[in-house]
Amino acid sequence: MNKKYIGFALLITAGLSFGSCTKNFDALNTDPNQIELITPGSLITPTVYGMTTYFTVRSNDFTWEIMQTGLANPSAANGIHRYYFTEQSGDGTWNKCYAYLRNIREMETSAVARNNEAYQAVARTLKAYIVGILTDSFGDVPLSEALGAESGITKPKFDTQEQIYADMVKGLEEANKLYQGESVMNGEDILYKNDKKLWRKFNNSLLLRYYLRQSKRMDAYAKIKVMLDNPTDYPIFQSNAEAAVVQVTGLAPYDYAWGRRQDYVNFTAMAEFFVDNLNALNDPRRPFIMKEATRLVDGKVESIGYRGIPAGHSGDLSAYNFNPSTPNGDLVYPEAVGTPVKELIMPYAEVEFIKAETYLALGLTNEAKTAYEKGVKASIEQYGGVVPVTYFENESAKFDGTQERIMMQKYLSLFMVDYQQWFEYRRTGFPKLPKTPYMFHDGVMPSRFMYKNEVRRFNPDNYAKAVAQMGGDTYHTKVWWEK
């Protein structure tokens, strides 16, 4: 194919939009025949920083609302917190994921050409991270042929989610072995500073996530137990220091996710459900996440503790005679620019909650309790908080031998982690979120984004096959692992 038409072909086949990455990094669109100009290590930071920054913002403007963590305030009509979706709701996710998958392909091609197993492994790890978000957001998607315009594939097929998950698991298993090779990493690495041992732990922690996501489709707990019983073969996160967390300074080129502090803080209220559950726990994470609510008393502003407003409300909040808690800007945009903040890819706490659920399902109650408490502790300490000695004496905090209790704390720990709260709610139905008569779809939460309009227009035959495979293309069409 004439190179002048390659970009257009990529755009129309899968509905991709290979624009600039978040902030100051451009998505690299490099001729694969010129790989001598690329080193695989040069692609790690723009990919990791770009994706993490993009999904940090999306966790705020999408996941907060749909999972009743926070919401726009005022919000008089529509809004994600009322389950209002449009056909374009997932377009940004589609575009970004495919753009960065192109980066990863270039990384892997360059790593193979240089016989560098370490970067081949990193490419597999990052591909699984990105593909996981993509397929869990849409279901069946073009993957095996998605970036094939240079080879003349202008209308890629949609791979089934079942096959995508099998390929992700295979890729992560291969990467786990490749990390043990002699190859070294020597590029710029914003995540792990070229530490292969930490990359390997991230890789295997992702493997735990993707096994668990298939819990309705396979004996995921048995698969996970094999990994947990073989820590030498499958090292995973063991502390917050090892977690996949990007430190962003706010200084160019590593700007904070928001352009201004007020863009994060203003016109947003914390949601009642989220705040009430933290209050029931008397939880030390609250001051790191939000400011206290206030009300006017005798002409003076008075703090009244942490209080939110209900998601899915009618638009009339006159009955709430206070100013609700708002996000704490220091979490993502400190007053002193240059102060590092944390953008989360995968926290250590998630691994402990995966272990807790697995042990509980296998009847290992003591092990489940230990993992549960480690997960809670990890999440609190991640913010710099301290777990009170009496924390687990609280009836709302103590381990009670139920999946629901584990999932409530997992929900809290996944705060600001892309769409993971949404994905896990769809898998388990926890936490039990309140409904209101002002929610769309009779209060039934959407399960996915619809495919891009360009996909339907320019790849109609494969789109039709995908719809048949999926059983529809609506907000409530369940993906393979949900069924």
| DSSP secondary structure letters along 386-452 | ---TTGGGSTTTS--S-HHHHHHHHHHHTTTSTTHHHHHHHHH--S-----TTSSGGGPPP-SPPPP
The pLDDT value given to residue 23: 40
Q: Are residues 217 and 270 in the same domain?
A: no
Q: Is residue 86 part of a domain?
A: yes
Angle of helix 196-213 relative to helix 117-138, nearest 10 degrees, comes to 30
The burial class, CB within 10 Å (0-12 / 13-18 / 19+), for 260 is exposed
| Residues 117, 177 share a domain | yes
Any domain includes 370 = yes
* pLDDT string in tens for the chain (483-residue length): 433 333 333 333 444 433 333 344 444 444 444 445 589 999 999 999 999 999 999 999 999 999 999 999 999 889 999 999 999 999 999 999 999 999 999 999 999 999 999 999 999 999 999 999 999 999 999 999 998 767 788 899 999 999 999 999 999 999 999 999 999 999 999 999 999 999 999 999 999 999 999 999 999 999 999 999 999 999 999 999 999 999 999 999 999 999 999 999 999 999 999 999 999 999 999 999 999 999 999 889 999 999 999 999 999 999 999 999 999 999 999 999 999 999 999 999 999 999 999 999 999 999 999 999 999 999 999 999 999 999 999 999 999 999 999 999 999 999 999 999 999 999 999 999 999 999 999 999 999 999 999 999 999 999 999 999 999 999 999 999 999
pLDDT of amino acid 371: 99
The SS3 call for residue 188 is coil
Q: Is residue 333 part of a domain?
A: no
Same domain assignment for residues 388 and 457: yes
Task: Assess whether 183 and 45 both reside in one domain.
Answer: yes
Is residue 165 included in any domain, yes or no?
yes
Pair 271, 129 in one domain = no
- Half-sphere exposure of 218 toward its Cβ, with a 13 Å CA cutoff? 15
Query: What residues pair up with 141 in beta bridges, in sequence order?
Result: 159
CATH number, domain of 411, equals 1.25.40.390
Among candidate residues 327, 358, 382, the one where a domain is terminated: 327
Q: Is residue 334 part of a domain?
A: no
Q: Please count the other Cβ atoms lying within 10 Å of the Cβ belonging to residue 239.
A: 11
Residues 182 and 34 in one domain: yes
Strand partners, 70: 270
Interatomic CA distance for residues 78 and 104, integer angstroms: 37
State residue 13's pLDDT score. Answer: 42
What tokens does 432 get? 């039990």
CB-side neighbour CA atoms (13 Å) of 54? 22
| CA within 13 Å, CB half, 285 | 23
Determine the structural domain holding residue 420 and report its residue range: 3-258+339-482
* Cα 45 to Cα 48: distance, rounded to the nearest angstrom: 5
> Are 359 and 444 contained in the same domain?
yes
User: Could you tell me if residue 332 is inside a domain?
Assistant: no
What pLDDT shows up at residue 38?
87
Q: What letters, b where the CB count within 10 A reaches 16 and e where it falls short, cover 166-200?
A: ebbbebbeebbebbeeebebeeebbbbebebebbb
Residue 90, domain member (yes or no)? yes
Same domain, 404 and 319: no
Supply 463's token pair. 């789109």
Q: Please, what is the angle between helix 44-58 and helix 91-113, to 10°? A: 160
Closest-CA residue to 404 (of 356, 347, 350, 371): 356
256/333 Cα distance (integer angstroms): 6
Contact 291, 304 (CB under 8 A): no
User: Would you say 192 and 202 are in contact if contact means Cβ atoms under 8 Å apart?
Assistant: yes
Distance, in Å, from the CA atom of 11 to the CA atom of 459, rounded to the nearest integer, reads 11
Q: Is residue 284 part of a domain?
A: yes
Give pLDDT, residue 142. 97
Residues 6+ apart with CB under 8 A from 91: 15, 17, 452
Domain boundary among 327, 349, 371: 327
> At which of 275, 296, 327 does a domain end?
327
* H helix intervals, 266-319: 272-280, 286-289
| Residues 322, 408 share a domain | no
Side chain identity at 162, as an amino acid letter?
E
64, 142 contact by CB (below 8 A):
no
Looking at the structure, tell me whether residues 301 and 350 fall in a common domain. Answer: no
Judge if 284 and 182 occupy the same domain. no
Regarding whether 157 and 15 lie in a shared domain, the answer is yes
Q: Into how many domains does the chain fold? A: 2
Whether the CB-CB separation of 141 and 101 falls below 8 Å is answered with no
